[in-house]
Amino acid sequence: MKKKSCPICESEKPLSAFGRNRQSVDGLHYYCKACAAARQRAWAKANQEKVKSMRIVYLERIRATNAQRDPYA
């Protein structure tokens, strides 16, 4: 079984513990899924206003797209 090392938790984990990243050489993300999720949660907590504004922009875009659709088509 092939393994890869995560630079944050510094442990060897199976390749299934890493997400896909087509831009990297091996096709896998640099951080394991658990560490990547923890980084994302920390960033979101530190940038609550930015997350809120991004969510509002996203919802407005989705609502505009859905308003243009014909529900009976």
User: What are the structural domain ranges in the chain?
Assistant: 3-68
Whether the full predicted model's pTM is greater than 0.85, yes or no, is: no
Would you state the pLDDT for residue 57? 98
| 27 φψ region: left (φ > 0), alpha (ψ -120 to 50), beta (else) | left
Please tell me the distance from the alpha carbon of residue 41 to that of residue 51, in angstroms, as a whole number. 11
Q: Is the pLDDT of residue 45 over 90?
A: yes
Say whether pLDDT at 52 is over 90: yes
Q: Do residues 50 and 26 touch, judged by C-beta distance below 8 A? A: no
DSSP bridge partners of 12: 5
pLDDT at 63 over 90: yes
pLDDT at 9: 95
